[in-house]
Amino acid sequence: MQRRRETMSYRRRLLELAAPLLALLFALLVGGIFLLAIGKDPLQVYLTMFRFNLSRLDSIGSILYKSTPLIFSGLAVAVGFRVGLFNIGVEGQYFIGALLASIVGFSLHGLPVWIHLPLVVLAGMLGGMLWAWLPIVLKLRRGAHEVITTIMMNHIAYALVLFFITSVFLDTEQEMVKGLGSPQVRMPKLLETARMPTMHGFLETLGIELPRHVYLNWFFPLGILLAVALFVMLWRAAYGYELRAVGGNPAAAETAGINTQRTMLSAFLLSGALAGLVGLSDLLGYFGYLDIDFPKGYGFTGIAVALLARNSMLGVILTAILFGFLRRGAEGVQAFEGVPMDTIVILEGVIILSIVVAVQIVNWYVRRQEKLMKRRQVTMERAGGD
């Protein structure tokens, strides 16, 4: 009995990994085709990417820095999927989060850092939650599909943030060096007390000298902690159990007495809060201000991160780092091999598509196995059983 228990779970674990690996392989293949199309040798390019990424300390730091927003984004999307909802609105939610965080960051004077910084972070989460509120309410009350509403909210967010930057909070008191450049279109700089410190000091105590131009900051460990916390919540807390139940089968959850509507609402708002954190690593750890070129696209990459991790909270850490790896690698191969960075974007899209197709294929295979097993079980039981 004991051995049967183990072999079963090994097989199952292997199958769980099968789909993501298949998807990755396929994506690399497709990437290879694109590379061939522009006359590059795929193996050479991939090799360069690996060497560039792993042999330099600034690469490793950069990988982790780039993965930070993706951890939050992947978590946000994954939490949504776990309760059965598709949060494509992470994109807009993190913009609004960055907006609120920025405002709190530059306008509250005289606070010590250990009050100001948490307030800024909270403002970010609040912004994300706010932006997630309308779509979920429309879905629960009117059955409006959350995909279309959240995508619209994304576009509105872009416009709104642009408006706030250019017309409301435009920083007109910028110190200009004479004759050098033009004023940036941005909001006022965040106060020192609102900035997230980088990890250089801490790493030095470990004997690691991280180069100055890498901005790895404490949001990274925060992201990991959050992932672990969400994992614990999802798998060890009563609320997480209900969340998964509603996502797994709302009818059965309802029959069991779980309030499915309330669960979906709170989970989606949680997703929004996580989304609000996505832009903060860049805002508080690198830029220090919100401008019109604030990075876009983390929301969509988050979808790839979550799906590739099969919506596992801990898995998201790995896949986010993987995507950070790919992005850093893209910089490297662009510099050394002349390959455009957009290959990465293509890879991201291909990964999303191939992972869901791979999941279907693996599912089909698993279902076939289960049917065969069940047939065997029933005939065994009919014959008298064990």
* Site residues (CB under 8 A) for other proteins, limited to 218-257: 232, 236-239, 241-242, 244-245, 248-249, 251-257
Which of 15, 22, 203, 346 lies at the binding interface for other proteins (CB under 8 A)? 346
Of 125-144, binders to other proteins (CB under 8 A) are 134, 138, 142-144
For residues 155 and 176, give the distance between their C-alpha atoms in angstroms, rounded to a whole number.
Answer: 33
Residue range at the interface with other proteins (CB under 8 A); choices 109-117, 193-201, 266-274, 346-354: 346-354
Q: Closest approach of Cβ 251 to other proteins, in Å?
A: 5
State yes or no: residue 368 binds other proteins (CB under 8 A).
no
What 3-state class would DSSP assign to 291? Answer: strand
Contact 264, 242 (CB under 8 A): no
| Of 206, 172, 205, the residue nearest 187 (C-alpha) | 172
Q: Residue 152 has which token pair?
A: 């619209």
Of 88-127, binders to other proteins (CB under 8 A) are 88
State yes or no: residue 312 binds other proteins (CB under 8 A).
no
For residues 34 and 27, give the distance between their C-alpha atoms in angstroms, rounded to a whole number.
Answer: 11
Q: Closest approach of Cβ 279 to other proteins, in Å?
A: 19
For residues 300 and 283, give the distance between their C-alpha atoms in angstroms, rounded to a whole number.
Answer: 19
Which of 50, 86, 336, 365 lies at the binding interface for other proteins (CB under 8 A)? 86
Cβ nearer to other proteins, comparing 22 with 160: 160
State yes or no: residue 50 binds other proteins (CB under 8 A).
no
Q: Which amino acid is at 328?
A: R
Residue range at the interface with other proteins (CB under 8 A); choices 68-76, 155-163, 210-218, 275-283: 155-163
DSSP conformational letter for 226: H
Contact 136, 263 (CB under 8 A): no
DSSP conformational letter for 384: T
Which of 19, 79, 136, 153 lies at the binding interface for other proteins (CB under 8 A)? 153
Cβ nearer to other proteins, comparing 285 with 324: 324
Q: Closest approach of Cβ 366 to other proteins, in Å?
A: 9
Q: Which amino acid is at 321?
A: I
Contact 244, 234 (CB under 8 A): yes
**Residue whose token pair is 């709190």:** 104
DSSP conformational letter for 217: B
The three-state (H, E, C) secondary structure of 118-136, written as one string: HHHHHHHHHHHHHHHHHHH
Cβ nearer to other proteins, comparing 92 with 285: 92
DSSP conformational letter for 193: G
State yes or no: residue 10 binds other proteins (CB under 8 A).
no
Q: Closest approach of Cβ 30 to other proteins, in Å?
A: 9
Of 270-309, binders to other proteins (CB under 8 A) are 300, 303-304, 307
**Residue whose token pair is 């992972």:** 355
Of 199-218, binders to other proteins (CB under 8 A) are none
Q: Closest approach of Cβ 196 to other proteins, in Å?
A: 29
Cα–Cα–Cα angle for 142, 95, 82, nearest 5°?
50
Q: Closest approach of Cβ 333 to other proteins, in Å?
A: 13
State yes or no: residue 25 binds other proteins (CB under 8 A).
no
Q: Closest approach of Cβ 53 to other proteins, in Å?
A: 20
H or E stretch including 53? helix 42-54
